[in-house]
Amino acid sequence: MARQFQYYSEKSDRFTWYPSVKFGKAKAPRQEGHIKRSDKWLQAKFQLFNKRYFGNSLGDCTCYFRGKPHSHYGGFCWNYGRGITVNGYYSEKRVLAILLHEMIHCEQFRTGKKADHGRWFKSRARELTILTKEKYGVVR
Ligand SMILES: [Zn+2]
């Protein structure tokens, strides 16, 4: 059975239905410019942030790297906040900022809020920027 996924497109700033599972782990070798961290590392960071900044409220969420160099795509929060993909062709600081950004969308799904970049999102991003001691500027 083809499962239906909905993902948030940062580029077009809206939700789009993904017709079939296209979020399989990329098999292509990582090119120059990748931060050279494993998917496990990203998953561990999710768990750490979830515990530290979200009170473990986000539950299970599959996190892994996916994306191409020079792509505008930074990250996706898909399947109603049960999956996060992050483009690894950025600096570590940027990658973690993107992860936190997607985690806010994840929280929006979990709490039944509209998953957008509205007022709630902005205030949450500001809050997280302060909570992370401005280590990762969670923008937008
Ligand atoms: Zn977003």
- pLDDT (tens digit, 9 = 90+) per residue, 76-129? 998 889 999 999 999 999 999 999 999 999 999 999 999 899 999 999 999 999
Answer yes or no: is 28 within a domain.
no
> What would you report as the CA-atom Rg of the chain, rounded to the nearest whole angstrom?
14
Residue 90: CA atoms inside 13 Å, Cβ hemisphere, count? 19
Reading the block at residue 49, the tokens are: 């942030």
CA of 102 to the centre of ligand 1 (A): 6
- Per the structure, the complete domain to which residue 66 belongs is given by 35-131
CA of 11 to the centre of ligand 1 (A): 9
Answer yes or no: is 26 within a domain.
no
CA of 31 to the centre of ligand 1 (A): 25
Answer yes or no: is 12 within a domain.
no
Is the whole-model pTM more than 0.75? Answer: yes
